[in-house]
Structure 1
Amino acid sequence: MVTDKGARTSGRLVESMLELIQARGYSGTGLTTVTEHARAPKGSLYFHFPEGKEALGEKAVELAADQFRGLVTEMVAEAVSPGDVLRRVVDVLIGILDGSDFRLGCPVSVVTLEMGAHSERLRTACAAAFESWIGPMTEHLAGRGHTPPAARALATTVVSGLEGAVIVSRARRDVQALRDAAQVLGGLLDQPPAKETP
């Protein structure tokens, strides 16, 4: 049985793993570093995550997915159009990159690139994370009149474009790729749905 204290310790370990993946990558994050960063007893990691690093990485990916989904949900409530939502999200991403001197990126893409071919567990977690962003966006766009296939294609393109723009921005140490993505993809989102041909 996990106590409140145990739940807090487990939560700190997951949060630390997520932060370290963002800054160092999955492969560059050792479990000793995670426990030190979380200020948790060394034995607590295997107590809460007996399956080791992959289990902890999986939870970190799930946390990242939840955080980004929460951000988008918040922006949807404030924005006037789908393109406005995207531009607001990009502003937050630019703030994260600038504020971290380009050290922090999307942990889901980091884990996908590093471990997608080596760990089915982590690949599946990353695929589920991307789907947790694409799915609700698809529903939102379908609710605005896009056909389900068109809504799905557009949502997938937006998520893929943002992920690529974050990577390019980190490589260049410049956020122009994200600004370009906001302009181009935001314009696509704000276009009226295409009419179906009879």
Structure 2
Amino acid sequence: METKSRIIETATALFQLKGYKGVGLNELLRECKITKGSLYHHFPNGKEELLIACLHSLNESITAQIEGIFAHYPTTLEATEAMIDMLIGQYEKTGTIIGYTVSSMVSEMATLSAPVRTACAELYYNTQAIYSKKLMAEGFTESSAQSIAVSLSALVEGGMMLCLAQKSSEPLRTVSDVLPKLLRN
């Protein structure tokens, strides 16, 4: 694996586990098995530039994963339930949800850095576009589909954060239970 890709992959996992501020430069260098010079060679503007690269990488992988799930199921309800079941399975297997949520990074950094906020917002826009497109294909108006997509994004993201905070998969199960009401046309 190319050094830059390895740095992004390792840093992404660290940032998701500990938050941006919770990962010190020395820990980042140690875990990535690189020198400070190597970090600044690949990311001349330092740790924040690396965070933005991590967010772009997450955006690509999460968007592709959601697109795949939504292409596989005929309805938004079935696709969303499958996505939530996958998240619950990951949480119950590992005790965390890695590679799927950027909420911790948004809450920690978005008010401090416009480029970080923009990178985070892209992921939410992409997922909402996937949800909205599927909903419109099911007959929802564009306005209704967009409103539901925002609500769905907030429910799933909030459910993931509550799972982590409460150390339980129940919040995502609750989200799954209310989906049929939200997705009624």
**Alignment of structure 1 residues 63-82 onto 2, 5 Å:** 63-82=57-76
1:175 paired residue number:
169
- Output the amino acid matched with 1:9: T
Query: Structure 1's 131 and 142: CA in aligned 2 closer, same or farther, altered over 3 A?
Result: same
CA shift digits 1:150-174 (9 cap, x unpaired): 1100111001111111111111111
- Output the amino acid matched with 2:79: V
TM norm structure 2? 0.91
How far is the alpha carbon of 1:187 from its aligned partner?
4.3
- Any conservation in 2 of the 1:16–1:38 contact (CA below 8 Å)? yes
Unaligned runs of 5+ in 2: none
CA–CA separation in structure 2 for the residues paired with 1:104 and 1:45: 23
2:142 alignment partner, one of 145, 148, 157 = 148
How far is the alpha carbon of 1:32 from its aligned partner?
2.7
**Alignment of structure 1 residues 94-109 onto 2, 5 Å:** 94-102=88-96, 104=98, 106-109=100-103
- Output the amino acid matched with 2:52: E
SS at structure 2 position matched to 1:179: helix
Matched, 1:127 2:145: no
1:53 paired residue number:
47
1:43 paired residue number:
37
1:87 paired residue number:
81
CA–CA separation in structure 1 for the residues paired with 2:3 and 2:107: 28
CA shift digits 1:21-66 (9 cap, x unpaired): 1111111112332232223344221101001111110111111121
CA–CA separation in structure 2 for the residues paired with 1:79 and 1:106: 19
Greater shift, 103-112 or 48-57, is seen at 103-112
- Any conservation in 2 of the 1:82–1:186 contact (CA below 8 Å)? no
- Any conservation in 2 of the 1:83–1:187 contact (CA below 8 Å)? no
- Output the amino acid matched with 1:60: C
- Output the amino acid matched with 1:49: F
- Any conservation in 2 of the 1:79–1:85 contact (CA below 8 Å)? yes
TM norm structure 1? 0.85
- Any conservation in 2 of the 1:141–1:151 contact (CA below 8 Å)? yes
Q: CA RMSD in A?
A: 1.8
Query: Structure 1's 110 and 87: CA in aligned 2 closer, same or farther, altered over 3 A?
Result: same
1:25 paired residue number:
19
Query: Structure 1's 135 and 52: CA in aligned 2 closer, same or farther, altered over 3 A?
Result: same
- Output the amino acid matched with 1:37: E
Task: Indicate the structure (1 or 2) with the bigger Cα radius of gyration.
Answer: 1
- Any conservation in 2 of the 1:58–1:121 contact (CA below 8 Å)? yes
Indicate the percent of aligned positions where both proteins have the same amino acid: 28
Unaligned runs of 5+ in 1: 193-198
- Any conservation in 1 of the 2:58–2:99 contact (CA below 8 Å)? no
- Any conservation in 1 of the 2:75–2:134 contact (CA below 8 Å)? no
